[in-house]
C-alpha cells in the first residue's frame, strides 16, 4: 500500500468489526479514531432501527459529512470506520486521494450474522445484514487491501499495519 497513509478508511458491512478494529488500529498507530456511525442524522438512525435499509438519498448527506471529515483529517493521522459499501460512495468519500488508504474488512455471512446478533443496543439489526451484502461492491485490489476478520482483533490490526507498510 506504498507506506502508511495519513487517513485510513476501514470499510465493510455491519458486524465486520470496523469500530472495534478501528479503535485498536488507531491506538496502535497513535491516530485519531472517527466512527461514521456517529454522524448519521437522527432520521437515518430511526430508519435503520426500524429495520429499513438506507438508500442512496439517505446516505448522500452522511457521506458528504464523512468526506469533510476525511479532508479535515488530512492534517493528522486518522482511522475512519465507515461502511463505504459501493464504489460511488468510496469516490464520494475521497478514498482515492493521495494520502488515503482503504482497508476492506471481509468475512463470511455466517460470521457477520453471529457478530451482529451478539451485540446489544446498536441501531443496525441483524435482519439488515443481507441488504448490506446485496449493496456491497467489494473493492478491487488497486482500490484497497482486503483483510479477513476471522481472527482475533490484535491479529487483524497486525495484518493491517503490515499491509500499510508494504510498498505498493
For residue 168, pLDDT beyond 80: no
Pick from 81, 77, 69, 73: nearest CA to 36: 81
Specify the CATH superfamily of domain 7-162.
P-loop containing nucleotide triphosphate hydrolases (3.40.50.300)
* Global pTM value: 0.83
Question: Rg (Cα) of the chain, in Å, rounded?
Answer: 15
| pLDDT at site 1 | 47
In this predicted model, what pLDDT tens digit does every residue of 68-93 receive, in sequence order? 877 776 678 999 999 999 999 898 88
Q: Which of 1-5, 17-21, 70-74 has the lowest mean pLDDT?
A: 1-5
Domain boundaries, the chain: 7-162
Cβ–Cβ under 8 Å, residues 82 and 11: yes
How far is the first Cα of the chain from the last one, in angstroms, to the nearest whole number?
4
Amino acid at each position: 500500500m506504498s507506506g502508511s497513509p495519513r487517513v485510513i478508511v476501514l470499510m465493510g458491512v455491519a458486524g465486520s468489526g470496523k469500530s472495534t478494529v478501528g479503535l485498536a488500529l488507531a491506538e496502535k498507530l497513535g491516530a485519531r479514531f472517527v466512527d461514521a456511525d456517529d454522524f448519521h442524522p437522527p432520521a437515518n438512525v430511526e430508519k435503520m432501527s426500524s429495520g429499513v435499509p438506507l438508500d442512496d438519498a439517505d446516505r448522500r448527506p452522511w457521506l458528504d459529512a464523512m468526506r469533510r471529515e476525511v479532508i479535515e483529517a488530512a492534517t493528522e493521522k486518522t482511522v475512519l470506520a465507515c461502511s463505504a459499501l459501493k464504489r460511488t460512495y468510496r469516490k464520494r468519500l475521497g478514498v482515492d486521494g493521495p494520502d488515503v488508504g482503504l482497508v476492506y474488512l471481509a468475512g463470511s455471512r455466517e460470521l457477520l450474522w453471529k457478530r451482529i446478533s451478539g451485540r446489544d443496543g446498536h441501531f443496525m439489526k441483524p435482519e439488515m445484514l443481507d441488504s448490506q451484502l446485496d449493496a456491497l461492491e467489494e473493492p478491487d485490489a488497486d482500490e484497497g487491501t482486503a483483510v479477513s476478520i476471522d481472527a482475533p482483533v490484535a491479529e487483524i490490526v497486525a495484518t493491517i499495519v503490515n499491509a500499510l507498510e508494504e510498498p505498493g
